Structure formats: C-alpha cells, structure tokens
Amino acid sequence: MEWTGARYADKPTLEVRTWIDAPPERVWALVCDITLMPGLSDELQSVEWLDGAAAPAVGARFLGRSRHEAFGEWETTSHIVEYEPGLVLAWAVEDPANPSAIWRFRLEPKDGGTELSEWMQLGPGRSGLSVAIDRMPEREQKIVFVRLREFERAIASTLEKIKERAEA
C-alpha cells in the first residue's frame, strides 16, 4: 500500500482481489457464512447473529467481538446493508447512517472460476481509531495509514484462506 496522506474524515478505502479456482456458488457459501470469519481472522474473535437472524439479509444484524494488541478488546454491532445472493454482501459497523466502517465482499464469475474482492472503508463514524487520533491529532495521517496497511494484510490473508477452502 502506498502512502496516501488520507485523514479519517476522507473515508479512506482499500480493496484486495483474488481469483479462485472454484465456482461462485462454492465461494459464496463461504463468504456468506459469517460464523466462519473468526477462523479466518487474527482480529475478529467471534460473531453471532442478533434478533433471531440466521443468515444474511438486508437489515439483519450481527455482533462481532474483536481483539487487537494496541486497541484491546471490543465488540460492535454490524448491519447488513447490501445483499445480492451470489454477488455482494456488505455490512456497516455500528450506525448504518454513520458507520465506523463498511465492509463488502463481491464475487464475479471469471475464467472458469471466481474473482473475489473484499473492500472496506474507514469512517466516517467514530471508532477505536478515533480515540488514537484524538490523543495524537498531529499523527492522524500516519495512524490512518498504519491501520489501512494492517487491514490490507488481514484482508489478503482472509481471501487466501477462503481460496484454500473453496479450492479444497
């Protein structure tokens, strides 16, 4: 990832893509099973559907518990904001109208397999990163850059693990 100088209010984004030698249906089954995600992530520790939901649908909510060496432990409620079976799954963290982050998986049939991308946006709503920025406003751009780099590595690892499972 190259330095962008982005600030949190800029709602910086990143996206990582991979090609998977498996049909979209197999990849989709992995992507939309959010209970698998803690096993694919070093930071996300657990997830559980809320309000009786058992699968993604626009408006469904889930609770995620996370842990990070620098930020400690926390939990967030995410809201499914985009759901097109077999194509797109996206969720907003905390307030859907002013999320602390948005995450999106997108699938596309390609070359006899599936292109899978994971995209994310920081902000504009407050998050744990906001607390660090409040403490060191002069380092905001560096804080944002470092966190985006962490997310980029984590997303690449998640996609690789999904690829391994889908191709097995």
Task: Give tens-digit pLDDT for 61-82.
Answer: 999 999 998 888 999 999 999 9
Q: Can you give the pLDDT at residue 4?
A: 86
With a cut of 90, say whether residue 12 has pLDDT above it. yes
pTM, rounded to two decimals: 0.95
**Nearest-10 Cα torsion for 28, 32, 34, 36:** -20
Helix axes 24-31, 140-167, angle to 10 degrees: 130
Q: Residue 2: which pLDDT band, with cuts at 50, 70 and 90?
A: confident
β-strands 113-122, 101-110: how paired? antiparallel
Task: Give tens-digit pLDDT for 112-137.
Answer: 999 999 999 999 999 989 999 999 99
Q: Can you give the pLDDT at residue 145?
A: 96
CA angle 59, 72, 10 (to 5 degrees): 60
Q: Can you give the pLDDT at residue 99?
A: 98
Contact present, 22 and 166 (Cβ < 8 Å): yes
